[in-house]
Amino acid sequence: MDGPLAATVADGGHPFYPLGVSIPGYAANTMSALVLVLIFAAGCGAIFVPTWLVASRARRDISRCELLVTFWFVLCGFIHLFFEDAMIRYFSYHHLDMASKMDLFGQLWKEYSLSDSRYMTRDPFVVCMETITAVFWGPLSFFCAYAVVARHPLRHPVQLIVSLGQLYGDVLYYAICLFNEHVYGIAYSRPERFYYWAYFVLCNAFWIAIPLLLMAQSLRESAAAFARGPRANGSVKKSQ
């Protein structure tokens, strides 16, 4: 740790904003930001190879678009169900000393919390939002991945529900943070641009852009299916 973070911690405090927020028991990470980011990226990337093998063997005619959607939902499932569920267990079982945790999940969340200290202060919205995400969108993301490969008839209804839930949670996540900053002057992110733009903005923007595309796809496919229904019924009546 170096620069302003080291100076803050050396003064006996912590590096999180807003200045003066109470985070008792804080212990500085022993792994650098680069190492933590590489570990997280490697963990996410590692799931793509088995996903590709399973999907391509289950459906040899799977399209590139369907494969990308499968990758997305498997990634969402792992992040929501395992990574965010681990965070919830931290809140549930380690809420009094979360800032002192030195295992991998603890250090990952302390690194990300430099862009949003609400994860260190047990903010009610963050706890509730992440709980819903882990309990509902995690398992349903895995189902969506299966439904894409298996051409399950529930693929688009569930894809629409999951994507809307992800979009809604992410919009509220941004909106509440920005509201507090602009109305009450409470900034949860450190002033360095990297933490705000790379962690807070970029890392969460995927759950706005991609769900919007998937919602549009599901709405288009659902509308087309309903449009085919009357035509099919009309053809049957004429043949009779």
- Per residue in 195-210, pLDDT (tens digit) is 999 999 999 999 999 9
Inter-residue contact 62 to 149 (CB < 8 Å): yes
Q: How many CB atoms lie within 10 A of CB 145?
A: 24
Rounded to whole angstroms, how far apart are CA atoms 143 and 150?
A: 10
Question: pLDDT tens-digit profile of 11-23?
Answer: 558 999 998 888 8
Could you give the number of structural domains in the chain? Answer: 1
User: Shortest CA distance to 115 belongs to which of 35, 237, 205?
Assistant: 205
Residue 120 maps to a domain: yes
Q: Distance between CA atoms of 72 and 69, rounded to whole angstroms?
A: 5
Residue 151 lies in a domain: yes
pLDDT in tens, 172-187: 999 999 999 999 999 9
Mean pLDDT of the chain: 87
Per-residue pLDDT band for 94 (boundaries 50, 70, 90) equals low
CA 117, CA 65: separation in Å to the nearest integer? 37
Name residues whose C-beta falls within 8 Å of residue 219's C-beta, 6 or more positions apart in sequence. Answer: 160
Domain extent for 51: 33-223
In a domain, residue 240? The reply is: no
State the pLDDT at residue 93.
Answer: 57
Structural domain contains residue 26: no
Do the domain assignments include residue 230?
A: no
H-type alpha helices, 79-154? 84-94, 104-112, 124-132, 138-150
Structural domain contains residue 3: no
Q: Is the pLDDT of residue 28 over 60?
A: yes
Domain membership flag for residue 20: no
- Any domain includes 70: yes
d(CA 62, CA 77): 20
Distance (Å, rounded) from C-alpha 123 to C-alpha 109? Answer: 14
